[in-house]
Chain A
Amino acid sequence: MELFWYIAIGIVLTVFFVLDGYDFGAGIIHLFFAKTEKDKEVITKSAGLFWDSNEVWLVAAGGMLFMAFPTFYASVFSGFYLPLIIVLWLIIFRAIGLEFRGQFKYDMWKAIWDKSFGLSSLLLALFFGIALGNIVRGVNLGSVENGVSVHEEHYFFLPLWNSSFSPLTDHPGVIDWFTIIIGVIAVVTLAIHGANWIILKTNSSINLKLKGVIFKLNIVLAVLTVFSLYVWQLVNPTSLDNFIHKPYLMVFPIIYLIGVIGLFFIKKIKKDSHAFMLSTLIIVGGITSSLASLFPVILPSINNVNGHLTIYNTSASTYGLSVAMIWGIIGFSLLLVYFIVQKILTAGKIDHMDYGH
């Protein structure tokens, strides 16, 4: 049962990053590359039509975590209190940037909301990467000081940073040099993904240029990935054990690799949707590899007084999880129907769809 919900939530979260990922990415591209009003408008539209239905995946993942792993939900949400609230504020700025830009025709009004959309997309991508970095690094569960827990063993609180910015101390902050690296990887990945989305869905004038951008970003991504594997070893020496003991888990990193390697041929790929698939593979591979390296742990403890949080010691009752499985399957099927209907109705380039109020 725990495993079912672990996988279900994993899928929902991955879908969230694939879907909302392209509109975060569109925001990043918008911030740096959109110069003409026409491009700005069309890129805003390519995100604006979909951000709401994409963000629901995050809301659903939150609700499911609450239901299936309440102890984990309580521990992580209170422990990462400040960054989470900042993420909420950024989500608000991004959404109103997208929705309110077209309401007035004044240049200054539009410029404000363009920045609001672009900057908050960038920062959100960074923060989501940092969050992933924190999870794989682990936290000081129970806040152990001098060998004793000062809180219950599954609670903690992280400051935004500590002055050393090092992940190797007993009390790391949310932001340290390791999590920043993961954050930058997330930004680069989503920028690539967003660029692919723009090329796929719009006729903007920068589409050709964006292919070059993707190529360069992909080089950065490849270098950072190799580097991050090295530092991850330093931060969490057991990070590769799962892959050694269960070699079939290697499919996840391989998915990631296919995506990265494939994108080096971006200029040769004829169909835009194939390029988009490749960046989707990078995201899927990246998230699943991180989860697989921890499994069944979902939040490692960096002290040796309190144990890791796993899917087994944080879950709700078996009865609750099994009734939820029944409605969960019904819900997922409905969801699939909505999703297909929505995609059929919005297929093709979106330049000609109505947008703005």
Chain B
Amino acid sequence: MEDMLFYDRLQFAFTITFHYIFPQLTMGLSLMIVYFKGKFLKTKIEKYNNAAKFFMKIFAINFTMGVVTGIPMEFQFGTNWAKFSELTGGIIGQTLAMEGMFSFFLESSFLALFIFGEKLMGQKLHFLTGFLVFLGSWASGWFILATNAWMQHPVGYEILDNGKYVLENFSALFTNPWLLPAFLHNQMASVVTSAFVMASIGAFYILRDKHSEYGHLFLKTGVIFGLISSVLVAFPTGDWNAKNVAKYQPGTFAAMEGIFETEEAGAEIVLIGQPNMVEKKLDNKIAVPNILSFLTYQEWHRQIPGMDQFKKEDLPDNIPALYYSYHIMVGLGTIFIAVMALALFFLWRKKLYTIKSLLWTIMFLVPFPYIANITGWYTAELGRQPYLVYGLLRTSDGVSPTVSSGNTLFTLLGFVALYLLLGLLFLILVGKTINEGPTPKPH
């Protein structure tokens, strides 16, 4: 039984982590492609159209990966989490089915047209199909976050005698106070990823002195989008999410901030420190007094409950992982703002394209927005533990009753092998596209 839960969780964590590598670029990049395409419509400068088409190629490869790794996600609710699906399907099935109906259909109906139909449709229609693809992918984020928001902070439900959750108020699913902040934060974070990818490709072209006209365009656009989105990720959206966690999941909040003991006179904010679960304290801590109380409640001396106030079985089961995930996300967010602000400053002084060290930094920063996004989700998901539906349904009560751990281990290994292959192919193909560059081939 214990094993079964462990492998199911591992498989879910592995497959969702791999899936989420792709949609974050899909969502952010679709916005930036629409931006280039719109700019082309307005200025009629061919360069912008070529830029849009170049990122479309990367987008297409990325999208395929997102789709093929997304389909297993939807099925896994039934295969590995049958009990959870049975009990809550009447509610989270709503948002998941709406995602299929309103966003996947939209996205996939117009994607092939957008990629292959430029000549067929003319520029205006082509822009429109691009815009619809963007709309579809953001709608998809909205519905999946509505699903997740219900698991984090259940609303609009009723529990029947047989333990089933049934929907009592449909609109509550979308006015859930958890949803809007999470959605905005998540979407901004996906713009961060795509802006960094774009800036990195730009820096690469400039450093290699190849396609440098596009290098300049990509770097500039990437830096501007990158700075705006990095700031928005931290404030107001990140801050808003943190307040929600403090309000609705106080135990999680204590664990992710690393507050072992309640301080009467207001909570300190921990910058660095390692949780020591045996002695229940942070080792090597560097902290600033009272800031956390202020950031969370705008009151210097407001008391924030520490982990000592909660029963052990109601606290997240992996506190160090939660604490580190959260601090890595926030730490990286701070670094992103700093680097992008610096780059923008030199862009303004017209020096950016010649500062080698900064260009190298931007080029190699590419994995970090992915890490920040994934640790962000780990914060949310590990923080929700030990519940599947916060406060109501425990994770251990959600697994499939008839699927043995041997089967799950077998399929987990299969997914690992297959996804390694997919990851390798993805890198090869994107590398090839970048290497060929955005200049159209003469026919």
A binds B: yes
Q: Cβ of A357 and Cβ of B433 under 8 Å apart?
A: yes
Which listed segment binds B: A80-88, A189-197, A268-276?
A: A80-88
Given A66-B78, A77-B75, A155-B401, also A335-B93 (CB < 8 A):
no
Contact mask for chain B residues 83-127; partner A; CB cutoff 8 A; 1 contact, 0 none: 101111111111011111110111011111100111111000000
- Cα–Cα distance between A95 and B69 once the two chains are bound (Å): 11
Q: Say whether A53 contacts B85, CB under 8 Å.
A: no
Indicate whether A66 sits within 8 Å of B117 (C-beta atoms), given known contacts A50-B112, A81-B400.
Answer: no
Decide: B68 and A62 in contact? CB cutoff 8 A: no
When C-beta atoms are compared, the residue in chain A nearest to B160 turns out to be: A317
A357 contact set on B, CB distance < 8 A: 57, 60-61, 433
Q: Are B101 and A157 in contact (CB under 8 A)?
A: no
Interface majority SS on A: helix, strand, loop or mixed? helix
Q: Cβ of B104: which chain A residues have Cβ within 8 Å of it?
A: 56, 59-60
CB of A285 to closest CB in B, whole Å = 26
Task: Please give, as numbers and ranges, the residues of chain A lying within 8 Å of B102 by CB-CB distance.
Answer: 327, 331, 334
Contacts of A342 in B (CB 8 A): 109-110, 113
Contact B74 A63 (CB under 8 A): yes
A155 contacts B432, C-beta separation under 8 Å: no
A60 to B101, CA, bound (A): 6
B426 to chain A, nearest CB (A): 10
Q: Are B119 and A95 in contact (CB under 8 A)?
A: no
Does B71 lie within 8 Å of A68, measured CB to CB? Answer: no
Q: Which residue of B lies closest to A85 (CB)?
A: B411
CB of B416 within 8 Å of the partner chain? no
Which of B71, B87, B88, B432 is within 8 Å of A103, CB to CB? B432
Q: How far is the CA of A354 from the CA of B108 in the complex (A)?
A: 17
Q: Which residues of chain A have C-beta atoms less than 8 A from B64's C-beta?
A: 52, 95-96, 99
Query: Which among A71, A156, A328, A353 is the interface contact of B101 at CB below 8 angstroms?
Result: A328
Which of A53, A66, A152 is the one whose CB lies under 8 Å from B108?
A53
With most chain B CB atoms within 10 A of its CB, the pick from A55, A346, A357 is A357
Shortest CB-to-CB span from A141 to chain B, Å, is: 11
Q: Are A81 and B403 in contact (CB under 8 A)?
A: yes
Q: A137 vs B151: C-alpha distance in the bound complex, in angstroms?
A: 37
Highest count of chain B CB atoms <10 Å: which of A49, A85, A345: A85
A67 near B93 with CB under 8 A, answer yes
Is A324 interfacial (CB-CB < 8 Å)? yes
Q: Are A335 and B105 in contact (CB under 8 A)?
A: yes
How long is the Cα–Cα vector from A81 to B407 in the complex, in angstroms? 8
CB–CB A74/B86 < 8 A: yes
Q: Which of B42-50, B166-174, B336-344 faces chain A?
A: B166-174
Which B residues touch A71, using CB under 8 A? 86, 89
Interface residues in A, total, Cβ within 8 A: 66
Q: Are A316 and B89 neighbours in the complex by a CB distance under 8 Å?
A: yes
Decide: A63 and B100 in contact? CB cutoff 8 A.
Answer: yes
> Which residue of B61, B70, B118 contacts A99 across the interface (Cβ within 8 Å)?
B61
- Tell me if B331 counts as interface (CB < 8 A to partner A): no
Is A320 on the interface with B (CB-CB < 8 A)?
A: yes
Known: A66-B89, A96-B425. A79 touches B402 (CB 8 A): yes
B83 touches A74 (CB 8 A): yes
B294 at interface, CB cutoff 8 A: no
Cβ distance B298 to chain A, nearest Cβ, rounded Å? 39
Residue among B88, B98, B105, B117 with most chain A CB within 10 A: B105
Query: Binding site of B, secondary structure by majority: helix, strand, loop or mixed?
Result: helix
Cβ-based interface call for A151 (8 A): yes
Contact across chains for B90 and A320 when beta carbons are under 8 A apart: yes
B100 A74 Cβ-Cβ under 8 A: no
B119 / chain A contacts, CB cutoff of 8 Å: 354
Question: Contact partner of B90 among A70, A81, A143, A331, CB < 8 A?
Answer: A70
- Which of A92, A320, A328, A338 contacts B110, CB < 8 Å? A338
Task: Give the distance in Å from the alpha carbon of A332 to the alpha carbon of B100 in the complex.
Answer: 11
- Are B403 and A78 in contact, with the CB atoms below 8 A? yes
Question: Which of these, A52, A67, A76, contacts B97 with CB under 8 Å?
Answer: A67
Closest to A95 in B: B68
Q: Are B101 and A53 in contact (CB-based, < 8 A)?
A: no
Residue B429 interfacial (CB < 8 Å): yes
Q: Is the CB of B71 within 8 A of A88?
A: yes
The distance in angstroms between the C-alpha atoms of A53 and B404, with both chains bound, is: 35
The answer to whether A60 touches B68 (Cβ under 8 A) is no
Give the shortest distance, in Å, between B294 (CB) and chain A (any CB). Answer: 43
Partner of A49, one of B72, B94, B112: B112
Question: Which residues of B lie under 8 Å from residue A295 when comparing CB positions?
Answer: none
Chain B residues, CB < 8 A from A55: 67, 71, 108
Measured CA separation A156–B414 after assembly (Å): 23
Which chain A residues (335-357) contact chain B, with CB distance < 8 Å? 335, 338-339, 341-342, 345-346, 353-355, 357
Q: Which residue of B72, B80, B166, B402 is within 8 Å of A320 (Cβ)?
A: B166
Complexed CA–CA distance, A316 and B158 (Å): 12
- For A81, A151, A316, A345, which residue has the most chain B Cβ atoms within 10 angstroms? A81
The answer for the CA separation of A346 and B87 in the assembled complex, in Å, is: 43
The answer to whether B77 touches A354 (Cβ under 8 A) is: no
Chain B residues within an 8 Å CB radius of A73: 78, 85-86, 89, 93
Chain B residues with CB under 8 Å of A76's CB are: 78
Decide if B93 touches A66 in the complex (CB within 8 Å): yes
Q: Which of A87-107 contact B (CB under 8 A)?
A: 88-89, 91-92, 95-96, 99-100, 103-104
How far is A123 from B167 in the complex, measured between Cα atoms in Å? 39
B249 lies within 8 A of chain A by Cβ:
no
User: Which A residues lie within 8 Å of B61 (CB)?
Assistant: 99, 357
Cβ-neighbour of B116 out of A70, A91, A143, A355 (below 8 A): A355
Q: Does A208 contact B (CB under 8 A)?
A: no
On chain B, the residues within 8 Å of A3 by CB distance are none
B418 at the interface (CB under 8 A from A): yes
**Residues of chain B lying within 8 A (CB to CB) of residue A282:** none
Interface residues of B in 14-61 (CB under 8 A from A): 57, 60-61
Other-chain contact of A60, B85, B91, B97, B116 (Cβ < 8 Å): B97
Question: Are A62 and B74 touching (Cβ within 8 A)?
Answer: yes
Binding site for A on B (CB under 8 A): 57, 60-61, 64, 67-72, 74-75, 77-80, 82-83, 85-94, 96-102, 104-106, 108-113, 116-121, 166-168, 170, 400-404, 407, 411, 414, 418, 422, 425, 429, 432-433
Beyond A52-B112, A59-B104, A63-B100: 14 further Cβ-contacts under 8 Å? A59-B100, A63-B96, A70-B90, A74-B86, A85-B72, A88-B71, A323-B170, A327-B102, A334-B105, A338-B106, A341-B109, A342-B113, A345-B121, A354-B117
Q: Which 7 A-B pairs have the closest CB atoms?
A: A70-B89, A77-B78, A67-B93, A316-B90, A331-B101, A63-B97, A78-B82
12 intermolecular pairs with C-beta atoms under 8 Å apart: A53-B108, A62-B74, A63-B93, A73-B86, A77-B75, A89-B414, A100-B425, A155-B401, A320-B94, A323-B167, A335-B105, A342-B110
